[in-house]
Amino acid sequence: MGSGMSKDMTYLCISASDSSSQNLMQHFKECIKFIHECRLHGGGCLVHWMCDRNGGRRLRQWLIEQIDSELYSGLIWENEEKSMFRIPWKHAGKQDYNQEVDASIFKAWAVFKGKFKEGDKAEPATWKTRLRCALNKSPDFEEVTDRSQLDISEPYKVYRIVPEEEQKCKSGVGTGSGLADVIDMDCSPSAIDDLMKEPPCVEEYLGIIKRSPSPPQETCRNPPIPDWWVQQPNPTLPLMNGYTGYEQHHSGYSQMVINFFYGGKLVGHITTSYPEGCRISLSQPSGPSEKLYAPDALEHVRFPSAEAIQNDRQKQITKKLFGHLERGVLLHSNKQGIFIKRLCQGRVFWSGNTMLYKDRPNKLDRDEVVKIFDTNLFFRDLQQYYNNQGRYPDNRVTLCFGEEFPDPTLRCKLILVQVEQLFLRQVMEDAGKAYSSPAADETQHEQVYRIFQDICGPHQRPLFRENQQIAV
């Protein structure tokens, strides 16, 4: 046992030559069995790929040099600290794909590793897979999925450079000289082919792992958002409870005003009335899989017909887009805010007061519940506006179907849908009257103050404005 190894740990060591012809898949069953036994005993498992110390951390050093060189389009630092970077990730099948530009960094890595030289057949997909393989297997890098943007015209991934101290904490590895440096991994052509297809025994052993007990995990800091639309065992149970004043404004919070815009023109609007929310789609949901979403409890809202569009080209493209929006989206509104779940195949981008990015598109992931509007945040912003500390807040959420959003060509979007809570629209109208009417200033502000109290209740931490207490 090497000096860097602990007597309290059980090791499985597999020796393999550093050769492109080495078939590592032959060790698959042995490794899976070892991991399975670890999990059965409630333990964890660390996997280390080790090689000679002289190999060095080539990928980390090389990639930092390439970013700093500014020679590759789209390969840039994500933050001022230079701890994260963007790498272009355009698919070779895209119509505007330019191999010389979009595959340049992947080609450079292949050249650096000696896997490609001028005159060889160009294989941009293989170059990309090789670098992806190296990034994902290197402990120096960690993909930041919530910053990556893969569904925009110039897609990119974001990776974080993991500090060495953090790597040591994660792996529990000391600095003993008995352990070789963990370095970036490379994929040979044969290994890439193996990665593209799973071996025959994979499903069997993955099933074993999924059934194996796992040690307790730390609770996430942010509780998961409930799937409001799934049928509950007892449908009579209210979705919201524990909020003072909620019953008084229940219908106003659950009701939504929805406006449809095609090419920047208003083509339809509706005010929902079902407390459980609505489904915006093209046709009445049907089929056994759709029963999961309690169709009887949801109001069905149809996209307006494209026949009202006067421009023939716009009408044709909109109808084509409809083909990808068949299952639509689910919307639910309550005192907490507005929630959405994308079911359709077509991409959906959005803007609201909870959006993560202010300078680039925010895309809804399919089948994920997202809070797109926060009611409490809106009232805090409204209070700051009254204190001359901010701008007038927007109580609307905008959904853009099939196209990136927001961008300067707002009026040219094929399908835009704006959603707002009915009650907040009324509050905004009342607040606007109060602010623009000096004669009734005191009375109207007292009215808005009472609305704040009814909305937020006494259970929340109060903020203060001059001598007036407002709970938000």
- Other beta carbons less than 10 A from residue 49's beta carbon: 14
CA-to-CA distance for 280 and 308, rounded, in angstroms? Answer: 19
Q: In the prediction, which pLDDT does 467 show?
A: 33
Q: In the prediction, which pLDDT does 226 show?
A: 61
CA-to-CA distance for 298 and 293, rounded, in angstroms? Answer: 8
pLDDT at 77 > cutoff 90: yes
- 83-136 pLDDT, tens digit per residue, is 999 999 998 878 888 999 999 999 999 999 888 988 888 989 889 988 998 898
Tell me, yes or no, whether 223 lies in a domain.
no
Looking at residues 175-180, what average pLDDT do you find? 34
Q: Are residues 169 and 67 in the same domain?
A: yes
Tell me, yes or no, whether 236 lies in a domain.
no
Question: What sections of 147-286 are H helices per DSSP?
Answer: 164-171, 189-196, 202-211, 246-254
Structural domain ending residue among the three candidates 211, 231, 262: 211
CA-to-CA distance for 195 and 198, rounded, in angstroms? Answer: 7
CA-to-CA distance for 138 and 62, rounded, in angstroms? Answer: 13
Looking at residues 129-157, what average pLDDT do you find? 88
Contact (CB, 8 A) for 124 and 107:
yes
pLDDT at 318 > cutoff 50: yes
With cut-offs at 50, 70 and 90, classify the pLDDT of residue 371.
very high
Contact (CB, 8 A) for 134 and 59:
yes
Q: In the prediction, which pLDDT does 67 show?
A: 95
Domain that holds residue 169: 24-211
Q: Are residues 198 and 59 in the same domain?
A: yes
Q: In the prediction, which pLDDT does 88 show?
A: 95
Q: Are residues 180 and 263 in the same domain?
A: no
Give pTM, 2 decimals: 0.47
CA-to-CA distance for 454 and 193, rounded, in angstroms? Answer: 62
Tell me, yes or no, whether 402 lies in a domain.
yes
pLDDT at 446 > cutoff 50: no
Phi and psi angles of residue 334, each rounded to the nearest 5 degrees, phi first: -150, -170
Tell me, yes or no, whether 175 lies in a domain.
yes
Q: Are residues 200 and 256 in the same domain?
A: no
With cut-offs at 50, 70 and 90, classify the pLDDT of residue 288.
low
CA-to-CA distance for 390 and 310, rounded, in angstroms? Answer: 41
Tell me, yes or no, whether 49 lies in a domain.
yes
Rounded to the nearest integer, the mean pLDDT of the chain is 72
Closest C-alpha to 331, from 394, 267, 257: 257
pLDDT at 221 > cutoff 80: no
Q: Are residues 365 and 304 in the same domain?
A: yes
CA-to-CA distance for 334 and 373, rounded, in angstroms? Answer: 10
Tokens of 58: 């080539």
pLDDT at 248 > cutoff 60: no
pLDDT at 76 > cutoff 80: yes
Q: Which residues are registered as beta bridge partners of 400?
A: 349, 416
Tell me, yes or no, whether 6 lies in a domain.
no
Q: What is the dihedral of CA 405, 406, 412, 417, to 10 degrees?
A: 70
When mean pLDDT is compared across 61-65, 155-159, 179-183, 374-378, the lowest value belongs to: 179-183
Tell me, yes or no, whether 225 lies in a domain.
no
The number of distinct structural domains making up the chain is 2
Q: Which residues are registered as beta bridge partners of 398?
A: 351, 418
Q: In the prediction, which pLDDT does 176 show?
A: 38
Tokens of 457: 């209740």
Q: Are residues 253 and 147 in the same domain?
A: no
Q: Are residues 309 and 417 in the same domain?
A: yes
DSSP-assigned letter for residue 45: -
Long-range contacts of range 364-370, CB-CB < 8 Å, 24 or more positions apart? Answer: 364/329, 364/340, 366/342, 367/341, 367/342, 367/343, 368/341, 368/342, 369/225, 369/226, 369/227, 369/228, 369/339, 369/340, 369/341, 370/225, 370/339, 370/340, 370/341
Q: Which CATH number do you get for residue 318?
A: 2.60.200.10
Tell me, yes or no, whether 5 lies in a domain.
no
Treating both helix axes as pointing N-terminal to C-terminal, what angle do 375-386 and 422-435 enclose, rounded to 10 degrees? 0
Q: Are residues 171 and 251 in the same domain?
A: no
DSSP-assigned letter for residue 90: -
Q: Which CATH number do you get for residue 159?
A: 1.10.10.10
